A and B are shown apart, each in its own frame.
Chain A
């Protein structure tokens, strides 16, 4: 399949659940200067299912707030509207992922957790947004799987057979990698650039036109979470590290040890969280 053909098909993605209608309404509201978190929260809270999903996500350990967040407007104040919007836009995609690829789901949650911890260590502003970028960094893989299942299957199988990285096979077989695919979708959904670039450039962070620090963090967090063997990101190998990106992070040994310790704790909590979600699914099925 040709790269252009794929780009074209992404414009009319069929197989993924459509964006909740609430998204366009929220987009309109946000451009209005006087809109408050309380007002936005009230609109979102009209949808109870969405609200409960949202609160579950914001209270999960990868954001790591000590107190429980119990209202949407509170979540908007604490996490910022970009994060809430991204969680709403991608909530149906995460449902698809939980059902079809629990390994990738765990990889994504793990990367989100690591990214948030690294961002905090580096003193980056709004670390929750960086976490969210980690959460959706492999968006392209989910889309590929849902929209072109045969091609996806072929890529995964070939990667395993030839012992290659998945994205090398993507480039060869499809002419486009999951980073670029994810970027296209994220842009189509009007996600902010601070989230779009890290998705698009997480495997070549130094090409990131802006927010190179966030792209570097996602790049490194993907490596750490694969190194630990948490979840499954499509192939089993630790990807190469971009050293220029690393120079933006450069944690020392002590800080790295600390990171591993904090991460270990949170990953154990995450496992409780994913079990919980699966339990909910069974109960509602």
Chain B
């Protein structure tokens, strides 16, 4: 799932979340496959961003998942001994992994570690 500016949306991409105007009006639902016509309509209604399935666009300055996880580690380096914060760190890492690779990937990752 990725949030992108409407300008970078292409026909064929699938909405992961409903498209909403800045006034909060819902224009099309999650699961919609974008077409040229839909994109034109969204532009007319001044929709600025869309959330689409997968990770189809690489944005300038955007960090990769391994980079994000490494920086996460670094930020927690002073509080390694705190069990609550360790749990928080794990939850954030898992959240990012699921967001980019999906639930199954994380499950397999955990199985791999256990076995």
Contact = CB atoms under 8 A, between A and B. Distances in A.
B3 A227 contact: no
Contacts of B77: 237
B91 interface: yes
B46 interface: no
Nearest to A243: B84
B57 interface: no
A268 B75 contact: no
B24 to A, nearest CB: 6
Q: Nearest 6 CB-CB pairs, A to B?
A: A237-B78, A260-B95, A268-B3, A238-B75, A238-B76, A238-B79
Given A226-B75, A236-B75, 17 more contacts: A66-B24, A223-B88, A227-B72, A227-B85, A237-B76, A237-B79, A238-B76, A238-B79, A238-B85, A240-B82, A241-B85, A256-B91, A257-B91, A257-B95, A260-B95, A264-B99, A272-B49
B22 to A, nearest CB: 9
A236 B73 CA distance: 11
A67 interface: yes
Given A68-B23, A236-B75, A238-B76, A272 B82 contact: no
Contacts, number: 60
A268 B3 CA distance: 8
B72 A229 contact: yes
A227 B84 CA distance: 13
A125 to B, nearest CB: 25
A228 B87 CA distance: 13
B76 A227 contact: yes
A253 interface: yes
Interface string B29-54: 00000000000000000001100000
B84 A224 contact: no
Interface of A: 66-68, 165, 223-224, 226-229, 236-241, 243, 246, 253, 256-257, 260-261, 264, 268, 272
Given A238-B85, A272-B49, A260 B79 contact: no
A68 B21 CA distance: 12
A260 B3 contact: no
Interface of B: 3, 23-24, 48-49, 68, 71-72, 74-79, 82, 84-85, 87-89, 91-92, 95, 99
A249 to B, nearest CB: 10
A160 B24 CA distance: 42
A237 B3 contact: no
Contacts of B72: 227, 229
B95 A237 contact: no
B25 to A, nearest CB: 10
A206 to B, nearest CB: 15
Contacts of B49: 268, 272
Contacts of B87: 253, 256
A181 B75 CA distance: 26
A201 B99 CA distance: 35
A165 B78 CA distance: 9
A254 to B, nearest CB: 10
Nearest to B91: A256
Nearest to B1: A264
Interface centre among A66, A68, A238, A264 (most CB of B within 10 A): A238
Contacts of B76: 227, 237-238
Contacts of B24: 66-68
A260 B92 contact: yes
A227 B78 contact: no
A174 to B, nearest CB: 21
A260 B78 contact: no
Contact of B91 (A67, A239, A240, A253): A253
B48 A227 contact: no
Contacts of A256: 87-88, 91
